[in-house]
Structure 1
Amino acid sequence: MKKSQNKTKPLAQNRKASHDYTIEDTIEVGMVLQGTEIKSIRRGSANLKDSFARIYKDEMYVYNMHIAPYEEGNRYNHDPLRNRKLLLHRKEINKLRGHIEQPGNALIPLKLYIKNGVCKMLLGIASGKKKYDKREDLKKKQMKRDIDRALKEQYR
């Protein structure tokens, strides 16, 4: 008998990422957090919108990720928009460096969740979409929705 997977719902999600980017690959990374940040994340007070990851001095950081200050925190509360270090092995950083050095590619945070008591982030290697690609995706989504609606009505 297999163990059940520890599946939890994401505490923060970047919904706009799949609309603005084509996600080519994903990687799970850990984060270095201060004391009150994890409490705020567990409350669901994190925002991944407009955030991105970048390599700086052979270390990976996430920028523009907003974690709201913890209300019950004291004077040692954290800065909401500080750059947070991501935990990866050197080989993984070098592999990602090769991907993001190609023009048009970026590292975009997709989800933030707790796994086995530790905060994890799902990073996506993404390439930007053009405006006509976005329109095409919306058309496909609408067509699929219409087909599903018609099939549902047919089998009622």
Structure 2
Amino acid sequence: MANLIEHKRAHFDYEFLEHFEAGLQLFGTEVKSLREHRGKLEGAHITVRGGEAFLMNAEIPPYQAQNTVGKYDPTRNRKLLLTKKELTKLASAEEKAGLTLVPLSMYNKGRVIKLRFVVARGKKKGDKRQAIKKREALRDIAREVKRGVEKISKHLR
């Protein structure tokens, strides 16, 4: 299960509530392009319309630009393959105020390419700052613990 592409900024911008996994309807050239780790999920989102879920604004460039069919759109909408139960759950989550469906990564699962996405709530600036402070505090504590262990091990020798 190697990640082909991922949305790295999502962890900073959103608070994750629930994780999902879905298959994708892709062209063969898109699969080849993804296997070369070409593509972007930044700015992409998932929408549920008419009982179907779609990945919107995800950019997958053509595998070979010179061999691409004339009117290939790299940011076209791609259908997600989900069960009806998952679709109803996602539709109700999408309707709630403040919640959105954010793609995290595309990866191989055997020979199939899957999309990992989450139901998420956007973080405010203060939340982001608080997360940074917490991360720095944990890093400082880990550094001090490591120094203490090194001092103790020197005395035991």
Q: Quick check: TM above 0.5? A: yes
SS at match of 2:67: coil
Q: Structure 1 residue 90 and structure 2 residue 84: aligned?
A: yes
2:129 is matched with 135
For the 8 Å contact 1:12–1:47, the answer to whether it is kept is yes
More deviation, 67-76/18-27:
67-76
| 1:101-146 CA distance string (max 9 Å, x none) | 1100000001110001100001100011111111100100111111
Selected match of 1:114 from 108, 116, 132:
108
Output the amino acid matched with 1:142: E
Larger radius of gyration: 2
Alignment gaps of 5+ in structure 2: 151-157
TM-score calculated relative to the size of structure 2? 0.89
1:53 aligns with 2:53: no
Equivalent residue for 1:28? Answer: 21
Instruction: Measure, in 2, the Cα distance between the counterparts of 1:29 and 1:71.
Output: 26
| Number of residue pairs matched by the alignment | 149
Once residues 140 and 117 of structure 1 are traced to their aligned partners in structure 2, the CA distance between those partners, rounded to angstroms, is 40
Whole-Å Cα distance in 2 between the matches of residues 115 and 15 of structure 1? 20
Question: Residue 98 of structure 1: SS of its match in structure 2?
Answer: helix
**Percent of aligned pairs with the same residue?**
38
The alignment partner of 2:76 has SS state of: coil
TM-score (norm 1): 0.90
Separation (CA, whole Å) in 1 of partners of 2:8 and 2:25 = 23
| Letter of the structure 2 residue corresponding to residue 141 of structure 1 | R
RMSD: 1.4
C-alpha displacement of 1:79: 2.0
- Tell me which protein shows more helix as a share of its residues: 2
Q: Which residue of 2 is the match for residue 4 of structure 1? A: none
SS in 2 for 1:46: coil
User: Structure 1 stretches of 5 or more lacking a match?
Assistant: 1-7
1:65 to 44, 58, 63: 58
Q: Report 1:73-88 matches (<5 A).
A: 74-76=67-69, 78-88=72-82
CA spacing shift, 1:73–1:29, aligned 2, 3 Å: farther
C-alpha separation between the residues in 1 aligned to 2:31 and 2:6?
16
Alpha-carbon deviation of 1:73? 6.0
Aligned to 1:105: 99
CA contact (8 A) 2:62 2:68 kept: no
Runs of 4+ in 1 over 4 A off after TM superposition: none
